């Protein structure tokens, strides 16, 4: 259980920090210009918090804990991020009248990168915990 909580806390810190930087930089440059008519005036906290709680658990369960090495956690995390972000973006692209390909490509890249990095950092923390 200690391993799970170490992985969860590490993924949470890493992913939330990365995502905060991404959203603060890319929100006004990418999302707002392309999705102006679709965006809410303000972020709704409850769904955002629920997303992060579930997504971080998914990273831990599907990428960090099954991996014995940080490199494998990086690959599993990147794959998990690609699938998760792809599910969202490609569904939007398939069902909405307007969903720019640029948003899909950026999100798929970001989801794979940020999830992979967070998973590998958590794997490093877990390896350290097990060895100490």
pTM of the complete model beyond 0.85: yes
Give the C-alpha separation, 132 to 40, whole Å: 47
The count of domains in the chain is 1
Share of the chain above pLDDT 70, in %: 100
pLDDT band at 18, cuts 50/70/90?
very high
Mean pLDDT of 63-67: 95
pLDDT in tens, 91-105: 999 999 999 999 999
Q: Which residues of 60-75 are buried (b: 16+ CB within 10 A; e: fewer)?
A: bebbbbebeebebbbb
The mean of the pLDDT values for the chain is 96
- Residue 130 scores a pLDDT above 90: no
Report how far apart, in Å, the C-alpha atoms of 17 and of each of 8, 33, 39, 48, 115 are: 14, 24, 22, 15, 12
Q: What is the extent of the structural domain holding 111?
A: 1-131
């Amino acid at each position: 259980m200690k391993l799970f909580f170490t992985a969860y806390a590490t993924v949470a810190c890493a992913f939330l920090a990365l995502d905060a930087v991404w959203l603060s930089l890319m929100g006004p440059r990418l999302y707002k210009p392309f999705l102006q008519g679709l965006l809410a005036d303000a972020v709704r906290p409850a769904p955002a918090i629920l997303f992060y709680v579930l997504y971080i658990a998914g990273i831990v369960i599907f990428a960090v804990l099954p991996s014995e090495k940080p490199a494998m956690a990086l690959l599993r995390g990147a794959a998990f991020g690609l699938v998760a972000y792809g599910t969202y973006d490609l569904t939007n692209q398939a069902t909405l009248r307007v969903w720019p390909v640029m948003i899909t490509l950026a999100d798929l890249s970001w989801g794979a990168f940020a999830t992979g990095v967070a998973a590998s950092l958590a794997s490093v923390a877990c390896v350290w915990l097990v060895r100490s």
